[in-house]
Structures are given as C-alpha cells and as structure tokens.
C-alpha cells in the first residue's frame, strides 16, 4: 500500500525545452541542502524508470507518428501514466525530506498537450489533465511553480548545447525541433502562470541577452526560500 504523507514543500521548475530547468533544479537542490535542509530531486519524464516513461521516449522519437499524428489527449495519458507509476517514489520523497524539487511535473503536460489544441478545446485539455493527475491519480499539487521564461529561439540554441540523452539519438527530439509548436507551449505556460497564484515567472533574458546561470539561480532561490521551513515570513 502507498499513501501520501506530505511533509516536504513541493517546488516545480517549468519551462520550454532548453529553458534551463535541469541546470536550475540541480542548483536549487544544492542550495537548499547547503542551507541545512534535506532535499530530493525528481525529474519527469522518467524515461528509463517507468513503462510509461519508455513509451514517452518512443513518442518523442516519432515511433507513433509525427507530433500532430497523435491526439494530444492520448499523448497526455502517457506523461500522466509516468507519474502514476512514480507515485510511491514521490510519496516516499515527500514523506522523508524538507523539500522536493521537481524538474517538470503536471504543468508540463498541460502546457505541452494544451498547446496542440485551440479554442475551447485548449482549456478543456488543461482541465482534463488536472482532473486525471491531481484528481484521479491523487498527485499532490506543488506549493510553488517557477516558470523559466525566455524566447523560444534562445531556448532552442541551448538545446543544441545539451549532452546526449538516453531516450533519443537525435540532437533535438520531435518537440524540441518544432519552433512554432514551442511558441504555443511558451504562451500557454504564461497563461497558466497568470491564472494561478502559486506560479512565479522568472525572466531569463534581459535586454535580449541571456542572464547568467548564477543570477537566475539567485532569483529562483529567493522565490523558493520564502516557502522553506524555518524561513522568516
Ligand atoms: P532544460 O532542462 O530546461 O531543457 P538545461 O538545464 O538542460 O535545460 O539547459 C540546456 C543547456 O543550456 C545546458 O547545456 C545548460 O548548461 C545551458 N544553460 C542553461 N541556462 C543557461 C544560461 N542562463 N546561460 C547559459 N547557458 C545556459
Ligand atoms: Mg531538462
């Protein structure tokens, strides 16, 4: 049996591919630990750890067709299934740490799948994913979602700097290679951030130039540390 005994503060780092989520979530974990608190890092999709995660990898490699060939509602079930399979591990992390940092979570599913729909279907899809993951699967809602915001063209340059990934032999997977699609994802992310008090937006560019990793990290730390146990309120 498993259950949710949530002790930890749950912080989710979001943004388009190449926005710096991996870089910043690792830095945030180090900083939280250096402050004397215990912290776990969980990243999604868990390509190598779950059955659904492997299916996500196959989808991103084009095994089920091109991006538009598969209805986003069906795609959302794969990403949600990966978290369903991970719920025991997540519950354990939440029960045994002060903080759990997430490198992508439910919001990624909403932004990425919702972006493929238009009109009323867009928000219906977002609501369906919320119902599936937080309602039916009972996954806890994050205390804070931090959106790394930058121009898609800049993010795509950063994807080019990434080391090889386990699930794809391509330099950029199906989604990462599709600029117009990522523009829609970025815009839905901003919409989600505007409509939910638990979100904060971190602008990663200043005067058209990318800010330093350290400088962005300082801002994320400030936003995260407000919620940490023992922090002055
Ligand atoms: P994501 O996990 O959001 O896809 P990553 O953290 O993997 O993004 O970052 C993609 C690449 O960009 C990495 O090589 C990383 O070192 C680099 N990078 C991230 N943020 C910055 C930044 N502010 N300035 C310069 N390089 C960055
Ligand atoms: Mg990453």
What CATH number is given to the structural domain containing 130? 3.40.50.300
Task: Kindly give the distance from the C-alpha atom of residue 21 to the centroid of ligand 2, in angstroms, as a whole number.
Answer: 5
Nearest CA to ligand 1 atom 11: 158
Residue-level pLDDT at 203: 98
Q: Could you tell me if residue 232 is inside a domain?
A: no
Among 97, 114, 138, residue whose Cα is nearest residue 228: 97
The Cβ-side half-sphere exposure at 26, using a 13 Å CA radius, reads 4
Q: Could you tell me if residue 233 is inside a domain?
A: no
Give the C-alpha distances (Å, rounded to integers) separating 120 from 77, 110, 135, 143, 195: 20, 14, 21, 27, 16
Q: Could you tell me if residue 231 is inside a domain?
A: no
**CA distance linking residue 156 with residue 19, whole number of Å:** 8
Ligand nearest the Cα atom of residue 154:
1
Q: Could you tell me if residue 1 is inside a domain?
A: no
Q: Please provide the distance, in angstroms rounded to a whole number, between the alpha carbons at the two ends of the chain.
A: 37
Residue-level pLDDT at 68: 85
114-130, pLDDT tens digit by residue? 999 999 999 999 999 99
How high is the mean pLDDT of the chain?
93
Nearest CA to ligand 1 atom 13: 162
- What angle separates helix 179-194 from helix 152-159, to the nearest 10 degrees? 120
157-171, pLDDT tens digit by residue? 998 887 667 778 777
Q: Report the percent of the chain where pLDDT is more than 70.
A: 96
Q: Could you tell me if residue 4 is inside a domain?
A: no
Residue-level pLDDT at 225: 94
The set of protein residues with a Cβ atom below 6 angstroms from ligand 1 is: 15, 17-23, 158, 161-162, 204, 210-211, 213, 216
What is the position in ligand 1's atom list of the atom closest to the CA of 161? 14
Residue-level pLDDT at 2: 61
Task: Kindly give the distance from the C-alpha atom of residue 149 to the centroid of ligand 1, in angstroms, as a whole number.
Answer: 12
Residue-level pLDDT at 115: 97
Residue 52 pLDDT level (bands cut at 50, 70, 90): very high
53 and 160 Cβ atoms separated by less than 8 Å = no
**CA distance linking residue 188 with residue 21, whole number of Å:** 17
Owning domain of residue 121: 9-225
Domain count for the chain, please give it. 1
Residue whose entry in the numeric block shows the structure tokens 């400030």: 222
Task: Kindly give the distance from the C-alpha atom of residue 3 to the centroid of ligand 2, in angstroms, as a whole number.
Answer: 28
Residue-level pLDDT at 232: 56
């Amino acid at each position: 049996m498993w259950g949710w005994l949530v002790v930890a503060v749950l912080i989710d780092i979001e943004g388009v591919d190449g926005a710096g989520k991996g870089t910043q979530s690792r830095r945030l974990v180090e900083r939280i630990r250096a402050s004397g608190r215990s912290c776990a890092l969980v990243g999604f999709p868990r390509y190598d750890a779950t059955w659904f995660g492997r299916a996500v990898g196959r989808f991103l490699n084009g095994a089920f067709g091109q991006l538009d060939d598969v209805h986003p509602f069906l795609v959302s079930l794969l990403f949600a299934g990966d978290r369903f399979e991970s719920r025991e591990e997540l519950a354990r992390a939440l029960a045994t740490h002060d903080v759990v940092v997430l490198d992508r979570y439910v919001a990624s599913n909403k932004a990425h799948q919702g972006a493929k729909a238009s009109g009323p279907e867009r928000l219906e899809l977002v609501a369906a994913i919320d119902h599936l993951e937080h309602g039916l699967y009972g996954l806890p809602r994050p205390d804070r979602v931090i959106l790394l915001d930058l121009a898609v063209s800049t993010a795509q340059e950063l994807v080019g700097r990434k080391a090889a990934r386990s699930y794809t032999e391509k330099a950029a997977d199906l989604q990462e290679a599709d600029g117009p699609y990522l523009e829609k994802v970025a815009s839905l992310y901003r919409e989600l951030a505007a409509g939910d008090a638990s979100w904060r937006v971190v602008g990663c560019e200043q005067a058209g130039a990318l800010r330093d990793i350290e400088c962005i990290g300082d801002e994320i730390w400030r936003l995260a540390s407000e919620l940490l146990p023992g922090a002055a309120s």
